[in-house]
Amino acid sequence: MTTPSQTIGPFFGYALPADGLPDLVPAGTPGAVVLTGTVRDGAGAPVPDALLEVWQADAGGRFADAFEDLDRAQPAGFTGFGRCPTDPDGRFRFVTVKPGAVPGSDGVPQAPHLDLVVFARGLLKPVVTRVYFPAEAANTTDPVLAALGDRAAGLVAREDGRDLVFDVHLSGDDETVFFEL
Amino acid sequence: MTSSTSARPTGSADPPYLFPGYGSTVLRAPARPLVRLPLSRTELTSPVYGHSSVEAGEADLTTRHSGEPLGERIVVTGRVLDSDSRPVRNTLVEVWQANAAGRYPHAADQHPAPLDPNFTGAGRCLTDDEGRYRFVTVKPGAYPWGNHHNAWRPAHLHFSVFGPGLTSRLITQMYFPGDPLFAFDPIYQSIPDQAARDRLVSRLDLDVTTPQWALGYQWDIVLRGSRQTPWES
């Protein structure tokens, strides 16, 4: 008896505040990483009207239970939540930190990851994926990656200089792994 | 991956990704089956907004500018519930909508209907202890879009709700009762089950209606729950 999903449509840009929210931590924070990428459709064309949200633990693997001031969170500290619309070239950019380990459903440790949710015109419901970190030893024992076999590599961001790059392919030959929660 | 850890009940009310009648789904719908994710705290938690970040005035879309917007003033209220009908308290509800003429103040909206300098059409509030939200706004107009010849969207409010976990995150649209455009709207029609479509339609409620001032509409939102909350056991 749940309420069904409907598309976010093309006109959310002025309504869903994202000011400051692409930056989960201020630039210059020790350990801060830039996570950037492009959202593409099944023909490889950039998606210029998507909204991305990330949710992740802090560097210690903790989730805050309550945030006093999420909109203006920078002075108050890390919230684990980020929101970023894509630009006309389909690109997004977050500044965050690598989260600590979060136990899996059965207590098995998981490699550091963040959950990434994509909304867009033409998506009647969001897609959910995970971003893992490159050169991370724990990736080899992560239960979610292990179950994906050959597709697991697609969930690991690649290094581009000091930035991390994670492209989202909604469809097509390189379709990103999307999860059912 | 095991089904016992999935939060998504079978027979979900959601539309499919691919619904060719809604043309934009064709190149954006994932083609491969979703992979079931055993839920961990990453999926079973979500951001919690503090009261200090959402101001009471943000729930009244008619008082955000110096003058009153044109259109039919309405009150829209209801409860945010989990799938066990328990109230979802203190969760952020965000809304956005076209003005009474069917126009969004967005650069990409080229519908030649007037903008209203007294109406932006965006609001937010936090649910109270009963899970209730309440907005004052004007009834949005229908508007044309390019999906097919003579495509018009039924009047709607966009709603965004967080709920207690990533599993409950919902963006949807609320419609008005008896809209003759339902039969022609592929976004509404993309929901397979008529009973589920009906759950997106508000009802006129004279108890919410304010005499001599505004019609009232009631609309409850039921979020997907999660079947396990391991850290609570």
Query: Is residue A96 over pLDDT 90?
Result: yes
The burial class, CB within 10 Å (0-12 / 13-18 / 19+), for A30 is exposed
* Chain B nearest CA to A36, separation (Å): 20
**Using CA atoms, how far apart are residues B163 and B161, in angstroms rounded to an integer?**
6
**Using CA atoms, how far apart are residues B26 and B15, in angstroms rounded to an integer?**
14
Q: What is the pLDDT of residue B226?
A: 58
Q: Which residue of A has its CA nearest to B110?
A: A11
Contact A117 B169 (CB under 8 A): yes
Lowest mean pLDDT, pick from A25-34, A89-98, B90-99: A25-34
Q: What is the pLDDT of residue B9?
A: 45
Name the CATH superfamily, with its identifier, for domain A32-169.
Answer: Aromatic compound dioxygenase (2.60.130.10)
Average pLDDT over residues A134-143: 94
Q: What is the pLDDT of residue B12?
A: 67
Q: What is the pLDDT of residues B150-175, one digit of tens each?
A: 999 999 999 999 998 899 999 999 99
Q: What is the pLDDT of residue A77?
A: 65
Q: What is the pLDDT of residue B151?
A: 98
Contact B28 A123 (CB under 8 A): yes
Higher pLDDT, A111 or B225: A111
Q: What is the pLDDT of residues A12-39, one digit of tens each?
A: 988 887 777 888 888 888 889 999 999 9
Q: What is the pLDDT of residues B19-75, one digit of tens each?
A: 999 999 999 999 999 999 988 888 888 887 665 678 889 999 999 999 999 999 999
Contacts of B107 (CB under 8 A, 6+ apart): none
In percent, how much of chain A has pLDDT > 90? 69
Q: What is the pLDDT of residues B180-218, one digit of tens each?
A: 999 999 999 999 999 999 999 999 999 999 999 999 999
Could you report the predicted ipTM of this complex, rounded to two decimals? Answer: 0.92
Quick check: A59 contacting B, CB < 8 Å? no
Contact A66 B48 (CB under 8 A): yes
* Chain A nearest CA to B172, separation (Å): 4
Q: What is the pLDDT of residue A106?
A: 80
Contact B42 A127 (CB under 8 A): no
Check if the beta carbon of residue A137 is closer than 8 Å to that of residue A128.
Answer: no
**Using CA atoms, how far apart are residues A51 and A90, in angstroms rounded to an integer?**
10
